[in-house]
Amino acid sequence: MARTEQVLVLEPQHELKFRGPFTDVVTATLKLTNPTERNVCFKVKTTAPRRYCVRPNSGIIDAKNSVNVSVMLQPFDYDPNEKSKHKFMVQSMLAPYDMTDMEGVWKEAKPEELMDSKLRCAFEMPLENDKTHESESNKTVSSSTSSVKTELSSLPKSSSASLDDGEGKKIMEECKRLQMEVLRLREENKQIREDDGLRKRKVTSMGAPHSSSSGMATSTMRDEGLGTRVLAFCVLFFVIGVIIGKLAL
C-alpha cells in the first residue's frame, strides 16, 4: 500500500544548505508548517546523527501553526572535493484525538499512517568576493558605530564643561563678595572695640557716681560687638553652605 502524502509544508523543501566556514557550529533552519485542521506529530531523523544536533527533533504541531527546527552542523575539516552524502527525513502522522503518550503513538502507528519527506545536505564556502564584501561592511559598520559613539560622548563632555565654567565664575564672584563682606565686618568690629575702649576711659575719669550707668553702656556696646560678630559668622557659614551645595550638584 502506498504511503500517505506528506501534509506538512517544508521550507526548504528538498535541500538544507550549510554555509561555511566550518570551524564553528553552522546552523540551518527548517520550517515545518501544518496547514490542516488536525494536530500533527513529527520527527526529524538524519543519516549522520553524530554530525548534527537537531532542536526540536520531535513534537506536535498544532493545527494551522508552524515550528522552526534548528539543524546544527558540528565543526569539521571541510574538503571542497568531497560531496555531502548526509540526508534528513521528516516523518509525520496525524495526532490521535485521545493521545496521551507520544512515544506510544509512534510505536503503535501503522505504516499507512506515516508520512515522510527527505532532504539532502549541501555545504557551501563563501566566495572570496563575499568575504571581502562582508569584511568591508563590517569595517564600515564598525567605523560608523565608533564615530557615533565619539560624537555622543563628546557632546555631554562639552556641555558639562560649559556648565562647570559657568558655575566656576559664579562661585568666584560669590567668594569675592564674601571676602569683601568679611573685611567690612572686621572694620566694623574694630571700630566698635575702639569706641568701647574710649567709653571705658571716659567712665573711669568721671568717677564712681556714674559707674552703674557706664557699666550698662559698656555691657550694651559689648553685646552689640558680639552680635555683629555672630551675624558675620552666620553669613559666612551660610555662603559657604551655598557654595558646597552647588559643587555637590
The answer, yes or no, to whether the previous bond of 75 is cis (omega within 30 of 0) is no
How buried is residue 152: exposed, middle or buried, by Cβ count under 10 Å (0-12/13-18/19+)?
Answer: exposed
Give, for 33, the enclosing helix (H) or strand (E).
Answer: strand 26-33
d(CA 93, CA 106): 9
Classify strands 66-73 and 15-19 as parallel, antiparallel or unpaired. Answer: unpaired
How buried is residue 4: exposed, middle or buried, by Cβ count under 10 Å (0-12/13-18/19+)?
Answer: middle
- Which domains can be identified in the chain, with CATH numbers? 9-124 (2.60.40.10)
- pLDDT per residue rounded down to tens, the chain (249 residues): 567 899 999 999 999 999 999 999 999 999 999 999 999 999 999 999 999 999 999 999 999 999 999 999 999 999 888 888 999 999 999 999 988 888 899 999 999 999 999 999 999 988 755 555 545 555 554 554 455 455 545 545 444 444 456 666 666 677 677 767 766 777 776 677 767 766 666 666 665 444 444 555 455 555 555 566 666 666 677 767 766 665 555
Which residues lie across from 88 on neighbouring strands? Answer: 46, 119
How buried is residue 180: exposed, middle or buried, by Cβ count under 10 Å (0-12/13-18/19+)?
Answer: exposed
